[in-house]
Amino acid sequence: MRRRIRVAVTIAIIAGTLTICGCASLVTRTERFFVTGVVGALDITDSGRFDGFTILDDAVGRYDVFLAGEAHGVAESTDYAYKLFQYLHAVRGVRTYVAEIGFGAGERLNAYVQGDGTDADLAAIIDASRGTYAWTREWFAFWRRLRTWNAQLSPDDRIRIVGIDVEHQYPIGFEFIADLLPTGDPPAAIAAAVEDLRGWNTDVGMEASGALAERALASITGNGDDWAAFVGAEVDRVEIAVRAIVRRFDFYADPRNAEVREAAIYRTFVDVHDLILDPGERRMVGLWGSIHIPTAPVNGFEWLGARLQHGDDSPVRGRVFAIVPYYDRSTALRTFPYRSEPLTSDRLTVRLFAPYARTIATLFYLDGDGSPFRDSPVLSPDGRVPTTEAYHAAVLFTRARASTPMDVY
């Protein structure tokens, strides 16, 4: 027995020594790599400059979709996302912000960003997300800034918003659909479904709303020609919006089943890319919860980034760029109830990146020549693949603040 214990202890010591040596080697290789011009101190103010982002100049031309991860509830995330969008718009012609919101909500926000409506309309959209991470002063300011910037752009350069998530706030989806429906009489085969959609209101109730959306989708898929004749050019937007509501109820019936939501997001992306966006709008950037962005499978499961990068029918296959976020001595907003909590990434990550932090947000390009992350899985989500198969860049937030709920002034 004692001999077994001695052997086990010896093995543990050897394994620990190898781990320490491996980490020390990685730190040394990282130090050598990070002095080769792959670290950028980001300017995320409204200065008009792209300080720090320019380390990506030689890389972004190979990609069409840029997924920036976030820990929800960090105030500086929206400043970073806004500046990243402006940078990619300037150097890569990215014109579409792909949002982690439902399709109908995205179309409502797009109308606002195009100059329709007022800040009161924006507040109503935001208010529908009360209780979530989207119900913050920072997100309200983000959409206002996009509207102001968009008004300054030439028609050929103007930006747009699309939402590809399930329709979490499904009343917005129903209201959006009703606004798309013509006022005339529909063909008899679809009259009942049209009447249901026109007559929907919040008194219908959640369960009945889900059933109504199911009937509407069955009508659309079974009577496509009648719907196309009745709705005209808006038929694709109507169908995608209805599907987003149906998928919302599918997901909320089993919210622990990540496959339901992730598959829905991916399918909506493909539909929006192929049916809604003009060719000049098919380069995109979006700020998403970090779990969605890896471009490699995680423990065998493909989140959005991996599906876009590897899906057989992905229209952006092989052209997705993921930026993983890390945090040092920061705070984040949490929900149910709203409160602030400390936020710091694991010790190894901080050890690798923190010595190079010069501003509140510091960007690191991970996939450059000589990168130790090309053969080390140290930062990949499950430790199974080289880091750069999952993430192409990282951003470290230092002393970032928690977001502020809308009712705090």
pLDDT tens per residue across span 251-300: 999 999 999 999 999 999 999 999 999 999 999 999 999 999 999 999 99
Q: Decide if 15 is inside a domain.
A: yes
On whether the CB atoms of residues 39 and 55 are closer than 8 A, the answer is yes
Burial label, 233 (beta-carbon count in 10 A; 0-12, 13-18, 19+): exposed
Q: Which residue has the tokens 């010790």?
A: 347
Q: Decide if 18 is inside a domain.
A: yes
**Range(s) of the domain holding residue 21:** 1-33
Q: Decide if 184 is inside a domain.
A: no
Q: Decide if 153 is inside a domain.
A: no
Q: Decide if 20 is inside a domain.
A: yes
Q: Decide if 17 is inside a domain.
A: yes
CA 59 to chain centre: 20
User: SS3 of 326, please?
Assistant: strand
Q: Per-10-residue mean pLDDT for the chain, 409 residues long?
A: 46 38 77 96 96 98 98 98 98 98 98 98 97 98 98 98 98 98 97 98 96 98 98 98 98 96 98 98 98 98 98 98 98 97 96 96 97 96 97 98 86
Q: b/e for 138-167, b at 16 or more Cβ within 10 A?
A: bbbebbebbbebbeeeeeeebbbbbbbbbb
On whether the CB atoms of residues 348 and 94 are closer than 8 A, the answer is no
Q: b/e for 362-401, b at 16 or more Cβ within 10 A?
A: bbbbbbbeebbbeebbbbbbeeebbbbbbbbbbbbbbebb
Those residues with Cβ within 8 angstroms of residue 209's Cβ, 6 or more apart along the chain or in another chain: 170, 174, 200, 245, 249
Nearest to 50 by CA among 65, 35, 64, 60: 60
On whether the CB atoms of residues 146 and 161 are closer than 8 A, the answer is yes
Q: What is the pLDDT of residue 3?
A: 52
Those residues with Cβ within 8 angstroms of residue 157's Cβ, 6 or more apart along the chain or in another chain: 89, 95
- The CA dihedral of 209, 72, 66, 278, to the nearest 10 degrees, is 30
Q: What is the pLDDT of residue 25?
A: 85
Q: Decide if 10 is inside a domain.
A: yes
Distances (CA, A) of 163 to 154, 227, 268, 311, 351: 23, 23, 9, 20, 36
Predicted TM-score (pTM) of the model is 0.93
Parallel/antiparallel/unpaired status of strands 284-289 and 160-165: unpaired
What is the spatial distance between Cα 79 and Cα 43, in angstroms, rounded to a whole number? 9
Neighbours of 82 (CB within 10 A): 20
Q: Decide if 8 is inside a domain.
A: yes
What is the spatial distance between Cα 166 and Cα 251, in angstroms, rounded to a whole number? 8
- Number of structural domains the chain divides into: 1
Tokens read off for 136: 């913050």
